[in-house]
A and B are shown apart, each in its own frame.
Chain A
């Protein structure tokens, strides 16, 4: 049932990447528990604009959990207190009247803050450009039916492909490691015949880029898997390790 709640927000504000950040406290009243977290943030920003203040910058795009643009570290957890959802899918019914909500940007050296709650996640794009694709060579297009793929492989590949590149895994990790993201991208292609051909090269290139960009070394704590809105499995990391070590021992 819809309820109306009043909230106190502690929001990280930072005027640009070089500026020193700080927390600002705001009151937002009359929030419907049926609204989404980002709608509540919109209410905050309308309030700030009406007071002639600078609105809070935060990332969002699709608002339906498919693009991976929204972020926010809310009350101790990436994407907030609900499981398996992105921040845009988070409902205000997860909060109570009078509650204080602390909202921070992803914290990781490889994801520097751009402004307020926005962080620069281009490091992920760079990892993808390093090898997270299947090269398309010119020539005849093979008939899709001509390449049989086992159901189990197709399912696992699809599960890995559901990674939306949001970066919650990095934000949750005590080591600032991007292994869950990279392993999902490597796995999704390595399990299909089209992607299999370049699997070794891909694993080496993406891991090299990941290391170069300053992500940490995975120690298998599993915090990433818990916080991933898409339930990407930790066993993808084992597969990445396998692909990578195999490729290196081949050299």
Chain B
């Protein structure tokens, strides 16, 4: 284990593991968000499913551990992305090729991971102000108390659904969410398979498979968040 993190592959391991952890979190997040749309088909009143989900996330004791871990995941991923990028720019050297780079067949996303990451980060900051800060009580908001079914009985909590629904009334904000989600999709179309390559879990047979899975993950996550934001704006 000694000096693993001072080695290039060690630093990449941190990028990979933190990235995969963030992807896992995004899947949980997407499932919760899908509740925003599912009341109707599950026979609940509008907002009940999502409010129950938020209540569960807010009151669950595990969240006290998960939240700081998640923040750490982001910090590690972002800090190391900057360290790696600076080192790579140094390794490349200041002299650009006068005849440009005409190598064909290189994924666009793979060449733009930092700009895509920065787009995600910009979105993330707006997102935290939109919802997280309000739901956690750092910024005041008027949602009112509501009742919803919770594990067989009824529970009351803040009307988080109303907050989301209000927020997504703004078209510019919805568009920002779409842009953030698309950036995420591109980041993951490369990032997902790349992280498996980084931890060494790849070979000639799995390479094409992982690339396909990577695109599927990108479409599910990027597309999922896009659809939810748009649907909330248009139909709810």
Indicate if the CB atoms of A248 and B198 lie closer than 8 Å. no
> Which chain B residues border A239 with CB–CB below 8 Å?
200, 203
CA distance A108 to B98 in the complex (A): 14
A77-B101, A109-B91, A222-B106 are known contacts; what are 9 more A-B pairs with Cβ within 8 Å?
A81-B102, A108-B93, A172-B101, A174-B101, A176-B91, A215-B91, A217-B12, A244-B7, A248-B1
10 nearest A-B pairs in the assembled complex, by CB-CB distance: A242-B200, A76-B102, A216-B91, A176-B91, A238-B202, A175-B88, A102-B99, A241-B200, A216-B88, A221-B110
Indicate if the CB atoms of A217 and B8 lie closer than 8 Å. yes
CA distance A217 to B8 in the complex (A): 6
Interface residue range, chain A: 35 or more
Residue of A nearest to B201 (CB): A238
Can you show 14 pairs from A to B with CB atoms below 8 A apart? A73-B97, A109-B92, A174-B88, A174-B101, A175-B92, A177-B8, A177-B91, A208-B7, A216-B91, A222-B105, A222-B106, A223-B103, A235-B202, A240-B200
CA distance A178 to B233 in the complex (A): 48
Chain A CB within 8 A of B68 CB: no
Residue of B nearest to A73 (CB): B97
User: Would you give the shortest CB distance from B113 to chain A, in whole angstroms?
Assistant: 6
| Interface-lining segment among A48-56, A129-137, A226-234 | A226-234
CA distance A139 to B91 in the complex (A): 43
- Which residues of A come within 8 Å of B, CB atoms? 10, 12, 23, 73-77, 81, 102, 104, 107-110, 172-177, 207-208, 210-211, 214-223, 226-227, 233-235, 237-246, 248-249, 251
> Which chain A residues border B60 with CB–CB below 8 Å?
none
Indicate if the CB atoms of B12 and A235 lie closer than 8 Å. no
> Which chain B residues border A234 with CB–CB below 8 Å?
197, 207
> Which chain A residues border B91 with CB–CB below 8 Å?
108-110, 175-177, 214-217
> Which chain B residues numbered 131 to 186 have a C-beta less than 8 Å away from chain A?
none
CA distance A74 to B88 in the complex (A): 23
Indicate if the CB atoms of A226 and B92 lie closer than 8 Å. no
Indicate if the CB atoms of B8 and A222 lie closer than 8 Å. no
Contact of B197 among A77, A238, A246 (CB under 8 A): A238
Known: A109-B91, A176-B93, A235-B204. A75 touches B99 (CB 8 A): yes
Contact of B8 among A12, A74, A207 (CB under 8 A): A207
CA distance A226 to B92 in the complex (A): 18
Indicate if the CB atoms of B7 and A221 lie closer than 8 Å. no
CA distance A211 to B88 in the complex (A): 11
CA distance A20 to B107 in the complex (A): 34
